[in-house]
């Protein structure tokens, strides 16, 4: 494989990639409002002579290069979070900006830049005849990921009936190759009480007080150790072979966490005892943890046991319609996943990267020192569509994408032009590396 030729081809498309990226993010594209993003992407795919371009009923855009039966896929969610407090931005989030080295705007790192590199990576494959015989390359611009990680791929696999041989997630990876992530789930705890006049609280049963006890126990899961004498053993226990047979991968991904993300209550007035209280828990899961084990863990807390039938622990469901009106309900459970370090897909991506750029992470001068301090092959700190691709459906998934994790959801979001180029080149080289 002529890596120098691939790199040169990617460099030649740099201006086109920047123009395309800025065109996508010029329109807001929050979850369930991605129509303009999708239409912009579909038009660019057609302009670049993709062999097939479709938009499925959920609203995902799917483009193919090649006509074989074996599918190698590249995924990018193209929805974004909101802009937050506009006062924290130094430029218009949608107009963005461009310098010799950077592109700014909401979504350029998280994660429309990955879509751009994948689209042009596929074009380079066609230009240089890099698509192996019997293979077609699939590039997806997927929706609703920020709302519900993996929902789009659950739809693609189950409803569109598309099952690739493997999928590259183009989420930002800080110049590295990522082979897994912790899972997550959204838990709700509801506590019942009895209201009464605030002047005589003893007549009622304050749900907020009950919840306060429960939250102290939840906090202990994060803070406690796993010693034999510790009543509420901390989540760190999953790194211990005594408690987890998957402890090696758990140590690779990192321990689970739990935090209170929202709190709700009902009360007749500000001068009455609260008759209900509820909280949302954001639970990050490592290897060896499941949605059942996480719910049971909360149900087993001493305070939850103390209040008995007055406490209900459950998992949220997602049922928000997409921009097309498609409603595809699913539990708010996003499984932990990791592809083995010696898997064929892992080795193929490492080979393609090293053939182009060597043994270490490379990047813009601003980020290069940080990148080189980390191993080339690592993992994400956040959640991705891999929770459905590999977590729910067992399709091998690996990550490599332009931009920086720290830019995700941040004001003044930016990415680097050199990242777009390098990722497009690696994507172009990957099918040949995998199929040789």
Could you say which of 34, 56, 75, 79 is catalytic?
79
Write out the DSSP string of 186-213: EEEEEEE-B--BTT-GGGSB-HHHHHHH
Contacts of 189 (CB under 8 A, 6+ apart): 211, 214, 278, 279, 281, 298, 304, 311, 312, 313
Cα–Cα distance for residue pair 3/430, rounded to 1 Å? 11
Could you say which of 44, 145, 205, 350 is catalytic?
145
Let me know if 213 is a catalytic residue: no
Give the β-pairing of 337-338 and 180-181. antiparallel
Cα–Cα distance for residue pair 20/15, rounded to 1 Å? 9
Give the β-pairing of 177-178 and 377-378. parallel
Question: Which residue from 168, 171, 173 is spatially nearest to 349, judged by alpha carbons?
Answer: 168
- Burial group, residue 71, by CB count within 10 angstroms (0-12, 13-18, 19+): middle
Give the β-pairing of 166-169 and 70-77. parallel
Question: Which residue from 252, 234, 391 is spatially nearest to 297, judged by alpha carbons?
Answer: 234
Give the β-pairing of 102-104 and 414-416. antiparallel
Report helix angle 3-12 to 14-25, nearest 10. 50
Q: Write down the residue that tokens 């705007």 correspond to.
A: 105
Q: How far is CA 373 from its chain centroid? A: 23
Q: Which helix (H) or strand (E) holds 14?
A: helix 14-25
Residue 414 backbone phi and psi in degrees, to 5: -145, 165
Let me know if 145 is a catalytic residue: yes
Contact 154, 274 (CB under 8 A): no
Enumerate the β-bridge partners of residue 197.
272
- Catalytic residue set: 79, 145
């Amino acid at each position: 494989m002529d890596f120098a030729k691939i790199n040169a081809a990617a460099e030649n498309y740099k201006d086109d990639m920047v123009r395309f990226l800025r065109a996508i993010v010029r329109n807001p594209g929050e979850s369930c409002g991605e129509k303009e993003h999708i239409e912009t992407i579909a038009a660019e795919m057609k302009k670049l002579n993709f062999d097939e371009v479709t938009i499925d009923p959920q609203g995902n855009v799917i483009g193919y290069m090649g006509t074989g039966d074996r599918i190698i896929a590249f995924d990018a969610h193209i929805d974004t979070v909101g802009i937050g407090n506009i006062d924290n931005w130094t430029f218009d989030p949608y107009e963005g900006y461009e310098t010799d080295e950077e592109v700014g705007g909401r979504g350029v790192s998280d994660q429309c830049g990955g879509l751009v590199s994948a689209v042009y990576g596929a074009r380079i494959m066609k230009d240089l005849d890099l698509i192996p015989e019997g293979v077609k390359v699939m590039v997806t611009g997927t929706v609703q990921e920020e709302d519900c990680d993996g929902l789009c791929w659950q739809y693609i696999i189950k409803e569109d009936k598309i099952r690739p041989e493997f999928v590259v997630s183009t989420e930002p990876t800080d110049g590295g190759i990522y082979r897994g992530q912790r899972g997550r789930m959204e838990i709700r705890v509801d506590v019942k009480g009895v209201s009464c006049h605030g002047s005589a609280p003893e007549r009622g049963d304050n749900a907020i007080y009950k919840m306060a006890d429960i939250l102290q126990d939840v906090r202990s899961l994060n803070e406690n150790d796993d010693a034999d004498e510790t009543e509420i053993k901390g989540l760190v226990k999953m790194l211990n072979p005594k408690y987890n047979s998957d402890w090696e991968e758990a140590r690779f991904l990192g321990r689970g966490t739990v935090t209170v993300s929202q709190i709700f209550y009902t009360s007749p007035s500000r001068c009455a005892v609260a008759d209900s209280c509820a909280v949302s828990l954001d639970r990050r899961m490592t290897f060896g943890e499941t949605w059942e084990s996480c719910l049971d863990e909360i149900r087993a807390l001493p305070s939850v046991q103390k209040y008995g039938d007055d406490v209900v622990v459950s998992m949220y469901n997602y049922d928000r319609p997409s921009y097309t009106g498609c409603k595809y309900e699913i539990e708010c459970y996003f499984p932990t996943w990791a592809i083995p370090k010696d898997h064929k897909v892992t080795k193929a991506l490492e080979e393609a990267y090293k053939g182009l750029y060597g043994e270490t992470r490379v990047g813009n001068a601003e980020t290069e020192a940080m990148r080189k301090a980390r191993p080339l092959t690592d993992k994400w700190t956040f959640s991705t569509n891999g929770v459905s691709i590999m977590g729910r459906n067992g399709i091998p998934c690996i990550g490599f994408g332009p931009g920086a994790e720290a830019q995700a959801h941040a004001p003044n979001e930016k990415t680097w032009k050199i990242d777009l180029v390098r990722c497009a080149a690696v994507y172009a080289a990957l099918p040949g590396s995998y199929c040789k």
